[in-house]
Amino acid sequence: MKKTILNLKTFAAVILTASLMTACSSDDDTVVTPDTDTEEQETEEPVEEEDPRWITVAGAKMGEEPGDGNGGTLIYAVTSVDAKDPTVSIDPFENGFIAPSNRTARLQSSEDGNTIFNISYAGDTGGNYTKYTVEGGQTFTPSGSEVSIAPYVGTAPRWIKLFDGDQTGAAVYVSTENEFDDNDAYTRTEATIGVVTLDLVNSSIKEFQEHSVPLSAEEEAAGYYISRIDMPTLNAAGDKLYIGARLSKVDPATAESDSDYEILGSKTIVLDYPSLLNPTVITSTVGHGNTNGYRSINSFEYNGSVYQANQSDPEGSYILKIDADNEYDDTYDFNLDEALGIEGAYILAWRPAANGKAVVAYRHNGSAEGVAGLQGFFALVDLNAQTAVRIDDIPYDPDFYLFQYQGFVVEGTEIYLTQGAVGQNGNIYVVDTETGAVTKGAELVNTTGSHFIGVF
Beta-bridge mates of residue 288: 265
> What's the CA gap between 83 and 57, in Å, rounded?
9
pLDDT at 3 > cutoff 70: no
> What per-residue confidence (pLDDT) applies to 188?
98
One-letter amino acid of 333? D
pLDDT greater than 60 at residue 14: no
- Size (the chain), residues: 456
Domain ranges of the chain: 108-132+142-443
For the segment 359-383, what is each residue's pLDDT rounded down to a tens digit?
999 999 999 999 999 999 999 999 9
Report residue 45's pLDDT band, with 50, 70 and 90 as the boundaries.
low
pLDDT given for residue 143 in this prediction: 94
Mean pLDDT of 243-252: 98
- Segment 127-172, tens digit of pLDDT: 999 999 999 999 999 998 999 999 999 999 899 999 999 999 999 9
pLDDT at 26: 39
Residues whose CB is less than 8 angstroms from the CB of residue 292 and which lie 6 or more positions away in sequence, other chains included: 158, 228, 229, 230, 231, 244, 245, 246, 298, 311
Report how far residue 58's alpha carbon sits from residue 73's, in angstroms, rounded to the nearest whole number.
7
Mean pLDDT over 397-416 rounds to: 97
- Asked whether residue 44 carries a pLDDT value surpassing 70, the answer given is no
Does the structure show a pLDDT above 90 at 23? Answer: no
Q: Strand, helix or coil at 220? A: helix
What integer best gives the mean pLDDT of the chain? 91
Q: For 282-301, how does the pLDDT look when each residue is reduced to its tens digit (9 = 90+)?
A: 999 999 999 999 999 999 99
Q: What is the pLDDT of residue 47?
A: 54
| Proportion of the chain above pLDDT 70, given as a percent | 89
Predicted local confidence at residue 22, as pLDDT: 40
Give yes or no for residue 124 having a pLDDT over 90: no
Mean pLDDT of 38-50: 55
pLDDT at 275: 98
Q: Across-strand partners of 118?
A: 107, 130
Note the pLDDT of residue 27.
39
pLDDT (0 to 100) of residue 102? 83
Q: Give DSSP secondary structure letters for 144-189.
A: S--EE-HHHH-SS-EEEE-TTTS-EEEEEEEEEEEEE-TTS-EEEE
At residue 48 the predicted structure's pLDDT band, cuts being 50, 70 and 90, is low
* Residue of 246 and 28 predicted with greater confidence: 246
CA gap 427, 450 in Å, rounded: 14
Could you write out the DSSP letters of every residue in 20-83? HHHHHTSS--PPPPP-TTSPPPP--PPEEEEPPPEEEEEEE--SSSTT--TT-EEEEEEEHHHH
> In terms of pLDDT, which residue wins out, 3 or 58?
58
Give the predicted TM-score (pTM) of the model. 0.88
Instruction: Report the pLDDT averaged over residues 410-433.
Output: 98
Residue 37 has pLDDT above 90, yes or no: no
Q: Is the pLDDT of residue 24 over 60?
A: no
Query: What mean pLDDT is predicted for residues 109-113?
Result: 97
Cα 431 to Cα 96, 110, 398, 412, 455, distances in angstroms: 25, 21, 22, 11, 13
Identify which has the larger pLDDT, 15 or 183.
183
- Is residue 390 exposed (0-12), middle (13-18) or buried (19+ Cβ within 10 Å)? middle
H or E element that contains 338: helix 336-340
Judge whether residue 254 has pLDDT over 70. yes
Average pLDDT over residues 36-54: 62
Q: Is the pLDDT of residue 2 over 70?
A: no
pLDDT at 21 over 80: no
Q: Are 115 and 143 in contact (CB under 8 A)?
A: yes
Q: What Cα–Cα distance (Å) separates residue 205 from each residue in 147, 156, 200?
A: 8, 17, 9
Considering only the top CATH level, what class is 108-132+142-443?
mainly beta
Peptide bond into 274 cis (omega under 30): yes
In whole angstroms, what is the distance from residue 268 CA to residue 283 CA?
Answer: 7
Q: What are phi and psi of 450, to 5 degrees?
A: -100, 170
pLDDT digits (tens, 9 = 90+) for 201-214: 999 999 999 999 99
Closest alpha carbon to 269 in 296, 299, 229:
229
Q: How much is the pLDDT for 263?
A: 98
Tens-place pLDDT, residues 303-313:
999 999 999 99
pLDDT reading at 319 higher than 50: yes
pLDDT > 90? residue 32: no
